[in-house]
Chain A
Amino acid sequence: MKIATIKELLDAEVVCGEDMLDREVYSACGSDMMSDVLAYVKDQAVLLTGLVNSQVVRTAVMMDMVCIVFVRSKVPTEEMVELARESGLVLMKSRKRMYEACGKLYANGLHGNGASK
């Protein structure tokens, strides 16, 4: 699924990385616990979270993720946006809640593939 499709499905607004919306995402993860995110390697994944701090971006960088969607209208800080720009990550924000956002993506074919290691 392209990041542009995720943007459309979640009615999301791009915070940074507008030029990378044609990148492909193969799996997704929805969590506010970063260590749970770090427990599973996923290929070119999108992270959906309601947590806002720099460790969210660093976690995504460590996992080689391509996009973070902040749900529940959460807004990333300037520092987070700067970190994301340096690392080539797309940041988006959506008014949808976590459950609905995950459900929309899953129903449209983006599955978790959360096999460990």
Chain B
Amino acid sequence: MNEAVKFHFVVDGDDFTSAGQASVQIKKNLRQLGISPETIRKVSIAMYEGEINMVIHAGGGEADVLIYEDRIEILLTDNGPGIANIDLAMQEGFSTAPDNIRSLGFGAGMGLPNMKRYTDSMQIDSALGKGTRILMTVNL
């Protein structure tokens, strides 16, 4: 493939129950494209954590997945409050999620570390009061 295959998703910020639908869909799309199960798992887990983060912290956002010959890029953008201290947010166990989110099984401070764990590179650009943009790459 010479040009990237692109998928675009809008992540609804109002409903925690539906969070993760885009990740389930991208898993199906990647399977249809014949991507290896290991790579599919990495991409879908990283995107799933990103989706959950956008719903918890940013009132939703958008997710774009671009599939190139040698890599898959996942771009997550939101207009949320931004991340005050990215180094702190990257530490396992650090979380600013409210208690009600913890009772739903998230907010353990593992979201961003998991996104880094499953991807080959991750770049976070965040501005307080403006939003966050995260670009993750999984090499093929």
Which residues does A use to contact B, with CB under 8 Å? Answer: 32-36, 38-39, 41, 51, 53-56, 58-59, 61-64, 79, 87, 116-117
Contacts and interface: CB of A to CB of B under 8 A. Distances in A.
A53 B105 contact: yes
The dominant DSSP class at the B interface is helix
Given A54-B18, A55-B106, 6 more contacts: A35-B110, A39-B110, A58-B23, A58-B48, A62-B48, A64-B41
Interface residues of B, number: 28
The dominant DSSP class at the A interface is helix
Interface in B80-122: 102, 104-111, 113-114, 117-118
Contact of B105 (A33, A87, A117): A33
A63 B23 contact: no
A53 B18 CA distance: 10
Given A61-B24, A62-B23, A116-B117, A32 B48 contact: no
